[in-house]
Amino acid sequence: MIQRVHLASDYKALVTSKEMPFIDEDGLMRVGGRLENSSLNFESKHPIILPKGHELTEALIDHFRRKMLHGGPQAVLASIRLQYWPIGGRKAVAKVINKCIRCFRVKPKTAEHLMGNLPADRMQANRAFLVTGMDFCGPFLYRSEVRNKPAIKCYICLFVCFSTKAVHLELVSDLSTPSFIAALKRFICTRGKPKTLWSDNAINFVGAKNELAELKRLFSNDQNCQAIHQQCLDDENPEDLDVLTPAHFLIGSAFTALIEPDVSVLNINRLDRWQRVCYMQQIFWKNWSAEYLTLLQQRSKWRSRKPDIEIGTMVLVKDENLPPLKWPLARVIENIKGNDEVARVDVLRTASGTTRRAINKLCVLPMDPDVVESLPLPTEGGCLEKHQNS
């Protein structure tokens, strides 16, 4: 009945002709094919033709998908074609598989949006690590020197310069706040005190606020700068105070260096030795602005604007430390939009409370009302009556 409704013109043409495909003695349209001389049975040589996009076709595909234990499109299609021949087979099978929640959880796909504009801190000509982003990666395993002792977890605290993309790595033993504070102290002793630190507001970063206040006091050089400035004013030869230190090789200036005036517009022949060093440094940052900064104009990925994730949508929250089947479920309860009215962060309700996550950490479940999960096979002309009424 479905063939006569959805393939009516082909069915009428095959009633009187003997071409392939053909109509068997039961009135079913079957594929002719080239397997006539094979050892397959009659149904495999001449499978029944199924119309594209019909409910019965999708129900049969869903049945074979479950029978094949949620196999891939090629395996499910091969199993179906031993008895049926759905038109547009691979796309029809992929359509049903893409709506399966269990198949999606095995191989989830994260959400994407238009790549955002660069913040102002990424486009300023600053020394390395003056504005820094930090995050943890890991865990990694290392073996102890003691024989037969199990491997021990460790992590890496990653510091990235916003201006130059320079990377500084610090090894930490765990994710606690004291370990992070120790790593930050080592970073500051090597790269200098940063003006701004950006993080993802993780627990160990949040717990460090009180200790960071004390750390800021310890590493603050404002009083030192004022004392050196006053000494330079009183000294007849202030250039003698600027001695070469390891910091000049690490960050390009001393840890307590004063802000130098702009000398890049002056004639280099008029400048003394230190001013020429400042001149070369300032010319470098001007070239950085003219040559490197313009390369950041292009969006390398996420070039198209896509709809925001709707409120109430069920999502998987990506966790790099767990397999996909163990990623927690959550429901979107709020979209947080930026200045360009694009929501790149969502507020989620999970089993343990509410949290915020970027959308590239979310996998939208295919919860569609047309999902074929337990659709029964229509009988007694039900499909014909339904489509005639529609």
Number of H helices, E strands in the chain: 14, 13
**pLDDT higher for 352 or 375?**
352
Q: 111-131: buried (b, 16+ CB within 10 Å) or exposed (e) per residue?
A: bebebeeeeebeeebbbbbbb
What pLDDT sits at residue 263? 83
pLDDT at 213: 61
Structural domain 2-100, CATH architecture: Orthogonal Bundle (1.10)
At residue 167, does pLDDT exceed 90?
yes
Q: Where in the chain is the domain with CATH 1.10.340?
A: 2-100
pLDDT tens-digit map of 180-216: 888 988 898 888 888 888 888 777 676 676 666 655 5
Give CATH 3.30.420.10 domain extents, the chain.
120-219
Q: Which two tokens stand for residue 213?
A: 């206040």
Q: Is the peptide bond between 139 and the residue preceding it cis, with omega within 30 degrees of 0?
A: yes
Kindly report, residue by residue over 122-143, the tens digit of the pLDDT.
Answer: 888 888 888 999 999 888 988 8
Least confident of 18-32, 37-51, 196-210, 219-233: 219-233
Task: Between 235 and 104, name the one with better pLDDT.
Answer: 104
Closest CA to 272 of 238, 303, 248: 238
Q: For the residues 246-270, what does the mean pLDDT come to?
A: 71
The second-level CATH assignment, the architecture, of 120-219 is 2-Layer Sandwich (3.30)
